[in-house]
Structure 1
Amino acid sequence: MNPAANFSTRVAEQAVHWLMEMQQGPLDPRQQANWQQWLDAHSEHQRAWEHMQRVNQRLRALPSPLAHAALNAPTSNSRRHALKLLLILGAGGAATWGLRQHHLIPPLSADYRSPVGQRRKVQLADGSQLQLNTASAVEVQFEGSQRLIHLLDGEILLRAHKPLQIITDQGLLNTRGAQVNVRQFSDHTQVAVLEGQVEITPNVYSGLALPLEKSRQVNFTRKGWDTPRATDVGTGAWVDGMLVASHMRLADFLDELSRYRRGQLHCASQVADLLISGSYPLDDSERILDLLEISLPVKVRRFTRYWVSVEARV
């Protein structure tokens, strides 16, 4: 619970969601009813909403870099993240604003990042282990009894020893001592439970919840989820530096491989549906491309190091 504003991080996320909905245009009758229902559901919601209004009113009068980011962020996700930071930090007083302006608090910077082609392991304050896949970023917030990870980009594998929450662009995950792999896509989140159990709540405020057991995975959006299924072969293998394929389309395989290298990796349509299986070391993507020419009827054309095309062998 935030001592300054007296509401949780989860409720802050809900308040930011509703503010952004309203700033995109008038709510339709169903949205208006849902907002009113949320507001009336708990006094904590009312405190967060009142505080959100005060924060929003102050933004335009302040030169703070965080205020600028919240008002002018290039994407809605960045704006949402900046507004949530303001709300959670209790941005209601001049003293708080002054501290933020005179100390190095990067508002839109992740607590932990991993560059393209690299992985990173982090030991969290509660003993949980967090691993970041290529080109990933997270924000970690431990406030009293609340433990929250915000997946900003990419993919993580979490081994949680205590209850811990994960926020993505599409919703909220509650873990109970689970081992879970979470990947953020542009329009959905993919969750695979390796140990324990996870409860998924799309869109954070919706009230819908999906329990997901060990060895099951699911994709979910802000509106709901697809049918849970068995975890894919090789889920989480990236932690050990491996890319595992089992009868995977070559186009899909190359899409996965492209995450671990800079530049353009193109797959010609003539070979896109070829199937590939095997385990490949992620730390040597050039070697993987060489192996493709041995195992499949393809030719790898390297125009430059950063422009590679896999085509049919003539």
Structure 2
Amino acid sequence: MNMDRENANRGVQAGSQDEAEQWFARLLDRNCPPEQHAAFERWRNADPAHAQAYRELELLWKRSEEATRDPAVMAAARRALLPEPGTRAPRRWAFPVLAAGLAILVAVVALPRWLSTSADPAGTAYSTAAGQQRTVQLADGSSILLDTDSQVSVRYSSRTRRVDLLHGQAQFTVQGNHAWPFVVHAGSGTVTAVGTQFQVRLNDACTGVALLKGKLAIATQAADGTTQTASLIGGESLGFDQAGHISPVHPLDLQQAQGWTQGKLFVHDWRLQQLLQEMNRYSSTKLAIGDPSLQNIHISGIFRTSDQQTFLLLLQQGWAIHARRVNHAQIVLSR
């Protein structure tokens, strides 16, 4: 009878230890939600054995952290995990206490690695200067084409492939993986892709999204917490503002969208001010309108973003516009 009671007690203790280890691993995750912490407190307070098992695990963890700083102990832990030569099964332990201690040491080594994959790592920044374009090849086979004066931060984890567009414009060519979504954060929203090619442009007033092929899911969040969602298929585009409002979906001007990737602007009935703002993105010498009467001029044509001089010659020949250099950083246009 006493033997049966002792066996039952051992079973309860083993169960408490297993549960304590599971809770310990969950709470180590820095992204563990508040409801998980609340559930853990309920579990710990439900039974004194739970609280005792968790206290013992915390103490063992602290001692193990100190032990990992001893190279000899760590070497022994790694050797202990290796199978005997010529066998696939792990070696039998002569001393159960040593086995338990080494198992915890292995956990101390492995858990930080597990946590580093479950939490977003620090981002890697990529940027371009005015007039520069750059292609960034990512580890998963995806790529980012950065337009002039643009910057992104890339953070890959086991859960998601995250890219933050900090300013400017970029084209993303994404290797498909439904279990590993590719998410671009820009302005007040996110753009989630699986095996697509799309562009995102961040402006002061809004963020533009253009889908060349594949599918996209867009989600925004306003300051008050309200959300909006939309989806795109190839050949469609939309925009959303800083308040999280998503515009209606409209057909994509494919020629214009692909133009900047080739160093060209395909312009159809643009106001001169709009055209100058776009050309200014590609040069450190800025163009400005000095004569208000030029505001009403509408222009169509194809212009190379890297050739400001030819652009000014075309303006002067086709629209009777005079260009006067004020200094090395500014050129003023007038009649």
TM-score normalised by L of structure 2: 0.60
Equivalent residue letter for 2:252: T
Q: Which moved more, 1:194-203 or 1:258-267?
A: 258-267
In 1, Cα distance between the equivalents of 2:138 and 2:226? 29
In 2, Cα distance between the equivalents of 1:159 and 1:3? 36
Equivalent residue letter for 1:209: T
In 1, Cα distance between the equivalents of 2:321 and 2:281? 21
Equivalent residue letter for 1:137: Q
In 1, Cα distance between the equivalents of 2:288 and 2:319? 16
Alignment of 1:98-113 (within 5 A): 111-113=125-127
In 2, Cα distance between the equivalents of 1:46 and 1:126? 34
In 2, Cα distance between the equivalents of 1:169 and 1:4? 31
Q: Give the equivalent residue in structure 2 for 1:280.
A: 303
Q: Answer yes or no: is 1:5 the counterpart of 2:26.
A: no
Q: Answer yes or no: is 1:304 the counterpart of 2:295.
A: no
CA gap 1:243/1:209 in 2 versus in 1, 3 angstroms? same
Q: Give the equivalent residue in structure 1 for 2:200.
A: 182
Q: Give the equivalent residue in structure 1 for 2:33.
A: 44
Alpha-carbon displacement from aligned partner over 1:1-39 (angstroms, at most 9, x marks no partner) = x996353xxxxxxxxxxxxxxxxxxxxxxxxxxxxxxxx
Alignment of 1:173-252 (within 5 A): 173-203=191-221, 206-221=226-241, 222-232=243-253, 233-252=255-274
In 2, Cα distance between the equivalents of 1:138 and 1:47? 33
Conserved 8 A contact 1:158-1:181: yes
Deviation at 1:138, TM superposition (A): 0.4
Conserved 8 A contact 2:228-2:244: no
Alignment of 1:64-83 (within 5 A): none
Q: Give the equivalent residue in structure 1 for 2:283.
A: 261
Conserved 8 A contact 2:256-2:267: yes
Deviation at 1:263, TM superposition (A): 3.9
Alpha-carbon displacement from aligned partner over 1:213-241 (angstroms, at most 9, x marks no partner) = 22111110232212221223511311111
- Give the secondary-structure state (helix, strand or coil) at the position aligned to 1:272: helix
Deviation at 1:206, TM superposition (A): 4.2
Conserved 8 A contact 2:227-2:244: no
Fraction of identical pairs, as percent: 25
Q: Answer yes or no: is 1:167 the counterpart of 2:188.
A: no
Q: Give the equivalent residue in structure 2 for 1:77.
A: none
- Give the secondary-structure state (helix, strand or coil) at the position aligned to 2:219: strand
Which has a greater percent of helix?
A: 2
Root-mean-square deviation (Å): 2.5
CA gap 1:262/1:47 in 2 versus in 1, 3 angstroms? farther
In 2, Cα distance between the equivalents of 1:47 and 1:120? 43
Equivalent residue letter for 1:259: R
CA gap 1:4/1:159 in 2 versus in 1, 3 angstroms? farther
Equivalent residue letter for 2:238: V
In 2, Cα distance between the equivalents of 1:274 and 1:4? 63
In 2, Cα distance between the equivalents of 1:170 and 1:271? 35
Deviation at 1:157, TM superposition (A): 0.5
Match of 2:141 among 127, 132, 142: 127
Unaligned runs of 5+ in 2: 1-25, 38-111, 113-121
Return the structure number with greater relative CO, CA threshold 8 A, min gap 6. 1
- Give the secondary-structure state (helix, strand or coil) at the position aligned to 2:33: helix
In 2, Cα distance between the equivalents of 1:47 and 1:113? 39
What is the total number of aligned residue pairs between the two structures?
Answer: 218
In 2, Cα distance between the equivalents of 1:283 and 1:145? 40
Equivalent residue letter for 1:241: G
Q: Which moved more, 1:252-261 or 1:296-305?
A: 296-305
Match of 1:114 among 96, 113, 128: 128
Deviation at 1:264, TM superposition (A): 3.2
In 2, Cα distance between the equivalents of 1:243 and 1:4? 52
Deviation at 1:111, TM superposition (A): 1.2
